[in-house]
Structure 1
């Protein structure tokens, strides 16, 4: 089972959009853990029976994700940001890569949504340039390969491996996802980039 973990400050339209797309996934064996600062309502979501709301207070995103992992019942943790939403085959495509026991974690691109505003599209286009830094395939489907760093906006990992390396470094923000990946690689674990494990990430 997958545990989809979503840190956020409060309920908002983008979180509602994220949950709505999750409700339409073509793979059904998952739970959802939402970690707001304070308690939020879930009546807007068709999958509310599978949502657990865990208020955390105003703490950093990495700490929220760690709390979500501690409460997760799934064998695989699926981290996504509240301003992103998954492609409908997100989990189904991820599952096939986890059939390889050597793969501890995987990440996929966060594409700019087609209905984002003009300036959001411009921002997304800027990220496609090498001037935006390493791993431009964070923002478009590149070639499958192993890597040593990936952002947590679309990051899936075996729960046992996540806990074994101590989860996210709560004293880091930003950069807690890079620290996690560094610890995984240092422990000899493999992180796979999977171009078809897609989410759409608002700019």
Structure 2
């Protein structure tokens, strides 16, 4: 699929496009606009916007990375990042990783998040991916229900990994993926302690 793309919601049209450096303040504001994000993101955290600029430059220079924003009425109202990861498993299958999905508080419940994830799955299909996966903190229970409605299923595997340094705490977010057939449901799958990893096998 190509960018920019138009996402049609019930009451407005939203433009999905590749993010630019000028979008960083708005993207960082979206990342920090919830109780979890406020503790780890934002320009007031150590380093200001500098670490975000460094990360953006690396993302923007890598063809396997895609940071997008959704814009409406001249302002950025949502964002997400897609990473396209080659691997040897599944006969050398390419997979898409979705991260940092955020929608402005004013548009939550508008269908924008669903439209963005649908676009992301279509983009993965276009690029030849065999599956789409994402991670979500266990505290984001509403988000988990939303992802499950779209066909993602929580991994039952605990997500903490031992640190490789003596005396250091476990690394967070090392959850395994859950790879399921389209339409399958695993409602009884427990969520990991630190972050939930969810996967959707692509029917491509």
TM-score tier (shorter): under 0.3
Q: Give the TM-score, by structure 1 length.
A: 0.28
Question: Which structure has greater strand proportion?
Answer: 2
Question: Which structure has greater helix proportion?
Answer: 1
The structure number with the bigger radius of gyration is 2
